[in-house]
Amino acid sequence: MNLSGIDQFVDVATMLADTAQSVVRPWFRRGVNVDSKQDASPVTVADRSAERVMRAILAERLPGHGVFGEEFGQDNAGADYQWLLDPVDGTRAFVTGRPLFGTLIALFYKGEPILGVLDQPVLQERWLGVKGRQTLFTSPLGGTARTRQGVALEDAEMSCTSPEMLELAPHDRWRQLKQNARRMTWGGDCYAYGLLAIGQIDLIAECDMNPWDWGALVPIVHGAGGVMSAWDGSPLRLDGDRTVLAAGSASLHSQAVGILRAEQ
C-alpha cells in the first residue's frame, strides 16, 4: 500500500487512544467488579466501555474498515483495513492497582500491522508506531523511543508476562534462553514492549498471544530499532503459532532465534 495517506489513520488512532484513556483512567483503583470470560481471563467495565466507544468512533469516521476487538469480536471481516483493539491489555494488573497495563490500537492492511498505539493512561505515556517511520514516545518524564543496541545475550534484560504463559509454549527451549540472559523479570504485559522500545528491556519471549496482543506493538518496536517475530524468526501472522519474540536489535534477535530453534 501507499503509506503517504496514513496520516489520516494516525489522527483516528490518536482520537481512539485519547477517548479510551478518558474512559479507562477514572476506573483505576476504584474497586471495579471483575467478571471472568469463557477462557477464565478477567474483564471489567473499563474494558467493555472503552471498546464500545472506540468502535463507535471507527463506525463514524471509517465505516468501510473492519474492527476486531478483544471484547466484542469482529465486524466487516472482509475489509482490507482492520483495526484490532485491546482496550485494557493487562487486566490483572489493572484490577490490582498496578499501572503496568495499556490500551492497544493496531491498524492492519491485508494482514500486516502498519500502525500501532500503546497508551498507558495512568502514567500518561504513549508510543506511536507507523511502518517505515521512527516511533514517537511521549511521557511526562521525557525520553526517546530507541532500543538499546549492541547488547549481547549474556547482558540482556529479559521479560515475560508470567511463567504460566510459558506453560503453553510449543517447546521448552525458552528455558535455555532465560538461563543465557542476564536476568529475567516477570510481569508487564504490553507495557514491557514499550519499555523495550525505550531501551529499558532488551528481550521478550511470550506465547499464547492473540493478534490484538501483538499487532500494535510490531510497528512500535520496529520503529524504535528492534525486531519482532515468532519464536522461529518468521513474521508474525494472524494465523500464526501465537509465539512472540521481541528484541532490541537484529543481532540479539538472531541469537535468541538460534536458541529457540535449536534441536533438543
Binding site feature residues for Mg(2+):
70, 86, 89, 213
Q: Please, what is the Cα angle at 191 between 15 and 239, to 5 degrees?
A: 80
Q: Which cell numbers hold the place of 228? A: 519482532
Question: Which residues are documented as binding site?
Answer: 70, 86, 89, 213
Environment class of 94 (CB within 10 Å of its CB; exposed 0-12, middle 13-18, buried 19+): buried
In whole angstroms, give the CA distance from residue 214 to residue 237.
10
Query: How far from 144 is each of 157, 197, 227, CA to CA, in Å?
Result: 19, 9, 17
Say if CB 84 and CB 108 are below 8 A apart: yes
The alpha carbon of residue 109 and the mean position of all alpha carbons in its chain are separated, in whole angstroms, by 17
Environment class of 7 (CB within 10 Å of its CB; exposed 0-12, middle 13-18, buried 19+): exposed
In whole angstroms, give the CA distance from residue 61 to residue 255.
43
List beta partners, residue 120.
125
Q: Which cell numbers hold the place of 85? A: 483493539
Residue 8, classed as helix, strand or coil, is: helix
Rg, Å, the chain Cα set? 17
